[in-house]
Chain A
Amino acid sequence: MGFDSNEKALSYWRENLRLVLGLLAVWFAVSYGCGIVFADALNGIHFMGFKLGFWFAQQGSIYVFVALIFIYAYKANALDKKYNVHED
């Protein structure tokens, strides 16, 4: 067991789940939300020459995906350190 106690293991996993679910909410919002369900509404707004819904579907969501993974990697690594379960 890598944790000092079961409570620690439990709270590590809870924090990890909170991190993952938070990021997945953003993942869902930019792609399925802005890019698909609300695309028509957002298309009324113009952004750098694009209709905004179209831009999210073909450009914006992809940029956000990249950012999400790096944010996750950074935060998950920090979480490992906090609970002292990182690799040597």
Chain B
Amino acid sequence: MSVQALTFLIVGLSFALYIGIAIWSRAGSTKDFYVAGGGVPPVMNGMATAADWMSAASFISMAGIISFVGYDGSVYLMGWTGGYVLLALCMAPYLRKFGKFTVPDFIGERYYSQTARVVAVVCAIFICFTYIAGQMRGVGVVFSRFLEVEVDTGVYIGMAVVFFYAVLGGMKGITYTQVAQYCVLIFAFMVPAIFISVMMTGHVIPQIGFGSTVVDAAGNDTGVYLLEKLDGLQTQLGFNEYTEGSKSTIDVFAITAALMVGTAGLPHVIVRFFTVPRVKDARTSAGWALVFIAVLYTTVPAVSVFSRVNMIETINGPDGKGVAHETAPDWIKNWERTGLIKWNDKNGDGLMYYGKGKIDDTSTNEMKIDNDIIVLATPEIADLPAWVIALVAAGGLAAALSTSAGLLLVISTSVSHDLLKKNFLPDISDKKELMYARTAAAVGIVIAGYFGINPPGFVAAVVAFAFGLAASSLFPAIVMGIFSKRMNKEGAIAGMVLGLGFTASYIIYFKFINPAANVPDNWLFGISPEGIGMVGMIINFVVAVVVSKMTADVPEEVQQMVDSIRFPKGAGEASGH
């Protein structure tokens, strides 16, 4: 069977599985729709959280980015895992005890203010749309390369599938589908990683393999450490050493912090901890989520190193002078067709050469290689069997679909529950609310699909936005709401508005108004727009504390509510009323 037929078969089977699960677990009430009835076992919830969290970017792009920036890529690895420690220790158990459906629910009630609730809703919706546009694009890219359909058609198919199980199943359908999607995506990521690790270092475990010595084609140990070899290659080609990186320490620090805190403030992650039966389960569930995430996140840096070495050697050849384009392996030609690899024979010698610099400047570099192909091309680079390639396609789709569904749910909940039920239409029945939730999810899919087909050029730039926003607005408000009984609505709102305002202005200035000025010399304390959320968070905390000291005390009943969320006893199921 050809690669393409196999891909159709495996992707088709995985889609049939997701839809089957959705029909089996469809939602009957708003409680099913919002929090899966509050009865998901912690290990399963952990797995679903992991699938929800690991997006098309984690699966497809991250290994590629790290492959190109080396040590600097650590910000993503630590930032997108360390946030779970904050979630588990400072948020999840208390929010579970609080026992409502959404993040704006908590902010609105804790700060006894509709204004605070609306600020939280706006943040949540903005963050989710930012994110989901990228997912639909990921679906389109996978379809176009592996199934050779138009990117647009790919996006339509993806929309239809997500529509089916998110609108029908709500959180319940999504959670059980995500469990299946986690299994597909992790299997798809690990198989090529293990193959390539064995090939290059003789180790079955990639996490150990990339620290080991290289074996040659005949399987003999060469005694050269892989990372030392890579550092050597990098220096030769004019790059920084792979293990050293080039960002300043303060910027690495700030970006890691902004991503960690942002992770802990993302509404689609927080809401997962409303779905478990008990406070105890919220604690362990966060642990399981991180275990399942860590399997991928510790393999990613290994894949980055393997593919970097492989790629340099394939293009520049064993002598480092370049390989003739005519004799280039098939994967280079396959990806050239998609425009994600480009070759510009500057010196006209017919040889490909990869080095430092851009493809169209005066440097010796003749290759442009897109981040996104590193993972997708790994099985081809390593000459793995066709079914592995098909599997990677299904894995990339699973990652994109699971994340989109989780995000859509937050969007629909924010609209039907936080805006309509809690603001404009307090008297609607459960059935009506459920209908609004489904409608909102459907509208959300259409908008997401539109951005997938017509991607705004600023998708990459707005990702910094999503994390900066979450870090500088939602995270401090939630943490202070739990850990300080004195924090009042004036303090919280002032903190959110100023933290958010500062972060947003900084990012908008450097990313949109004056991108030319986006260089380290102009940055505040040398912190890039990606890391500025850390400063925004500090501003939020400071402003909130100062303002709360000068304004009225927190009402007695709210103080009692804070007391009651601080211990588990008496936690009922999550409820909306």
Partners in one complex: yes
A86: CB under 8 A from chain B? yes
What number of B residues sit within 8 Å (CB to CB) of A?
51
Scan A47-61; emit 1 where CB is below 8 A from any B CB, else 0: 011110011011101
Residues of B contacting A: mostly: helix
- Is B249 within 8 A of A37, CB to CB? yes
Say which one of B285-293, B321-329, B340-348, B538-546 lies at the interface with A.
B285-293
CB B7 to nearest CB in A, in angstroms, measures 31
* A49/B301 contact (C-beta < 8 A), A2-B567, A12-B567, A24-B85 known: no
* A69/B290 contact (C-beta < 8 A), A48-B211, A50-B211, A54-B243 known: yes
* A59/B207 contact (C-beta < 8 A), A12-B567, A35-B78, A73-B284 known: yes
Scan B224-255; emit 1 where CB is below 8 A from any A CB, else 0: 01110000000000000001100001001100
CB A52 to nearest CB in B, in angstroms, measures 10
* A77/B211 contact (C-beta < 8 A), A57-B71, A72-B89, A87-B569 known: no
Say which one of B170-178, B275-283, B450-458 lies at the interface with A.
B275-283
- Is B568 within 8 A of A87, CB to CB? yes
Residues of B within 8 A of A54 (CB): 71, 74, 227, 243
- Is B287 within 8 A of A73, CB to CB? yes
> Which one of A13, A48, A76 contacts B283 once the chains associate, using CB atoms below 8 Å?
A76
- Is A66 within 8 A of B291, CB to CB? yes
CB B66 to nearest CB in A, in angstroms, measures 8
A45: CB under 8 A from chain B? no
**A73 vs B562: C-alpha distance in the bound complex, in angstroms?**
21
- Is B298 within 8 A of A65, CB to CB? no
- Is B290 within 8 A of A65, CB to CB? yes
How many pairs, one residue from A and one from B, have CB atoms within 8 Å of each other in the complex?
136
Most B Cβ at <10 Å: residue of A39, A57, A63, A84: A57
Residues of A within 8 A of B563 (CB): 1, 9
* A62/B294 contact (C-beta < 8 A), A73-B88, A77-B280 known: yes
CB B96 to nearest CB in A, in angstroms, measures 10
Residues of B within 8 A of A32 (CB): 253, 256-257
> Which one of A24, A48, A57, A84 contacts B78 once the chains associate, using CB atoms below 8 Å?
A57
Closest to B208 in A: A48
* A87/B278 contact (C-beta < 8 A), A50-B211, A62-B77, A65-B81 known: yes
**A43 vs B74: C-alpha distance in the bound complex, in angstroms?**
14
Most A Cβ at <10 Å: residue of B71, B249, B260: B71
Given pairs A35-B74, A50-B211, A65-B84, 6 additional interface contacts (CB within 8 A): A58-B71, A65-B82, A66-B290, A73-B286, A73-B287, A86-B568
